[in-house]
């Protein structure tokens, strides 16, 4: 018998996950995140509950019932859900499992290996002495997979958190002002912020940011002046990082630079040029086949551009493109920066 069914994520509870290893060591926030992405499966008596997971990068846990594991090279083990060996993943054993059989009807969950490892790693980082001041809310699954910390190795995260300063701010407080020099990079721990820009003498609201969102990177990455004003829409707590620390720990590590010759080679292999200048500049002297995404429209392009493709970002001097490359890299895009821009490539002058 091979009867087995699965239901969408959502049926498993954080309390059920907490009895499993190593999930029991995770914080309540992380368990809630994992409960939202766990796949619940029901295996009929006599079926092999691991058959559908052969070669898959997913850890399978037994919540309820009994399963017989037959190991490669001989040996068996009866596992009871939620107790003893039943707290460990069925398919992650010191000796590989050749096959399994449900002795009774069984309820199982499966979790993506990468997500599980990500959550365990960053939850431990958040427990470190350097991160004790920081709320785990900024380490949500969404932020770790696609947000500000997604591209960074855990070791760098720990060092970053050691240098972040937490500040309290009230509704209406202005954190950065359009036209000023860049000084800090911000991550919102709690509360909401409003982004505004003066257009034709009128303040226009461009966006509202929430917990886990970051801002202030463009002026720091490109050594330009602030292009918008950000103020608190509610009371809030934020983490801020000075310009020097930003460049050393966050800005430069995300900027993978290459020469014009190297860029041509990568484009010949399928990469795409990404021109982040104004459309008027793009029309005048763009590189062959280049796409145009002006710097102020980069965030709007995230849902549109192909994340599976590599992009080489450029502008005139490399200043605007460094800011754009940081934004793309921060969201998990495969992006490289054309060192020195078109000027260094002998074009645009």
Mean of pLDDT values over 1-23: 69
Give the CATH H-level superfamily of domain 134-250.
Answer: Jelly Rolls (2.60.120.10)
Q: How far is CA 138 from CA 3, 36, 223, 248, in A?
A: 41, 17, 27, 21
Q: What is the pTM of this model?
A: 0.63
Residue 131 has pLDDT above 60, yes or no: no
Give 13's pLDDT tier (boundaries 50, 70, 90).
very high
Residue 130 has pLDDT above 70, yes or no: no
Three-class DSSP category at 47: coil
Three-class DSSP category at 294: coil
Task: Give the pLDDT confidence score for residue 147 in this predicted structure.
Answer: 67
Ordered by start, the domain boundaries in the chain are 4-115, 134-250, 255-344
Task: Give the pLDDT confidence score for residue 67 in this predicted structure.
Answer: 97
Strand residues in the chain grouped as ranges (E): 4-7, 39-43, 58-64, 66-71, 76-80, 97-102, 106-112, 165-169, 174-176, 184-190, 193-199, 202-209, 214-215, 229-232, 236-242, 257-258, 272-275, 291-292, 310-314, 334-338
Task: Give the pLDDT confidence score for residue 151 in this predicted structure.
Answer: 66
Task: Give the pLDDT confidence score for residue 155 in this predicted structure.
Answer: 60
CA angle at 257 for the pair 256 and 260, rounded to the nearest 5°: 140
Domains 4-115 and 134-250 share a fold: yes
Tokens matching residue 218: 């463009």
Candidate CATH numbers 3.30.210.10, 3.40.50.300, 3.40.50.2300, 2.60.120.10; the one for domain 4-115: 2.60.120.10
Residues making up the chain, counted from first to last: 349
CA dist 230 and 111 (Å) reads 38
Q: Where are the alpha helices (DSSP H) in 164-202?
A: none
Q: What are phi and psi of 56, to 5 degrees?
A: -85, 150
Give 126's pLDDT tier (boundaries 50, 70, 90).
low
Q: What percent of the chain has pLDDT over 90?
A: 51
- Pairs from 148-152 (Cβ < 8 Å, separation ≥ 24): 148/187, 148/212, 148/213, 148/214, 148/330, 149/122, 150/330, 150/331, 150/332, 151/254, 151/329, 151/330, 151/332, 152/250, 152/253, 152/254
Lowest mean pLDDT among 102-111, 157-166, 321-330: 157-166
Residue that wins the pLDDT comparison between 267 and 162? 267
Output the average pLDDT for the chain: 86
Instruction: Give 85-105 as a DSSP string.
Output: GGGS-TT--SS-EEEEEESS-
pLDDT digits (tens, 9 = 90+) for 219-277: 888 788 999 999 999 999 999 999 998 888 777 767 789 999 999 999 999 999 999 99
Tokens matching residue 184: 């800090």
Q: How far is CA 74 from CA 53, 66, 77, 95, 176, in A?
A: 21, 20, 10, 10, 66
pLDDT digits (tens, 9 = 90+) for 25-36: 888 888 888 999
Is 194:231 a contact under the CB 8 Å cutoff? yes
Residue that wins the pLDDT comparison between 121 and 295? 295
CATH number for the segment(s) 255-344: 3.40.250.10
Give 2's pLDDT tier (boundaries 50, 70, 90).
very low
Mean of pLDDT values over 31-59: 92
Is 51:69 a contact under the CB 8 Å cutoff? no
Residue 132 has pLDDT above 70, yes or no: no
Task: Give the pLDDT confidence score for residue 170 in this predicted structure.
Answer: 96
Rg (CA), the chain: 25
pLDDT digits (tens, 9 = 90+) for 189-207: 899 999 999 988 899 999 9
């Amino acid at each position: 018998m091979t009867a087995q069914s699965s239901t969408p994520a959502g049926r498993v509870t954080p309390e059920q996950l907490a009895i499993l290893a190593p999930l029991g060591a995770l914080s309540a926030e992380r368990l809630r995140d994992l409960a939202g992405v766990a796949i619940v499966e029901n295996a009929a008596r006599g079926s092999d509950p691991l058959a559908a997971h052969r070669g898959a990068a997913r850890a399978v846990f037994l919540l309820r019932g009994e399963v017989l594991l037959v190991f490669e090279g001989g040996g068996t083990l009866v596992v009871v859900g939620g107790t003893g060996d039943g707290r460990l993943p069925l398919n992650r054993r010191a000796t590989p499992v050749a096959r399994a059989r449900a002795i009774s009807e069984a309820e199982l969950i499966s979790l993506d290996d990468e997500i599980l490892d990500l959550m365990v790693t960053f939850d431990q980082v958040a427990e470190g002495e350097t991160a004790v001041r920081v709320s785990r809310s900024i380490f949500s699954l969404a932020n770790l997979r696609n947000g500000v910390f997604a591209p960074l190795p855990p070791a760098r995260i720990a060092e970053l958190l050691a240098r972040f300063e937490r500040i309290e701010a009230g509704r209406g407080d202005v954190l950065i002002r359009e036209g000023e020099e860049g000084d800090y990079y911000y991550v919102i721990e709690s509360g909401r912020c409003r982004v505004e820009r003066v257009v034709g003498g009128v303040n226009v609201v461009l966006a509202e940011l929430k917990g886990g969102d970051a801002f202030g990177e463009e002026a720091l990455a490109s050594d330009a002046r602030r292009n918008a004003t950000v103020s608190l829409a509610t009371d809030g707590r934020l983490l801020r990082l000075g310009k020097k620390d930003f460049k050393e720990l966050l800005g430069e590590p995300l900027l993978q630079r290459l020469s014009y010759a190297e860029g041509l080679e990568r484009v010949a292999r399928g990469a795409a040029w990404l021109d982040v200048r104004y459309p008027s500049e793009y029309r005048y002297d763009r590189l062959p086949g280049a796409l145009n995404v002006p710097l102020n429209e980069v965030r709007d392009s995230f849902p549109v551009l192909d994340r599976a493709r590599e992009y080489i970002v450029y502008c005139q001097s490399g200043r605007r493109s460094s800011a754009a490359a940081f934004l793309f890299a921060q969201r998990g895009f495969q992006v490289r920066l054309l060192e020195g821009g078109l000027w260094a490539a002998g074009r645009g002058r």
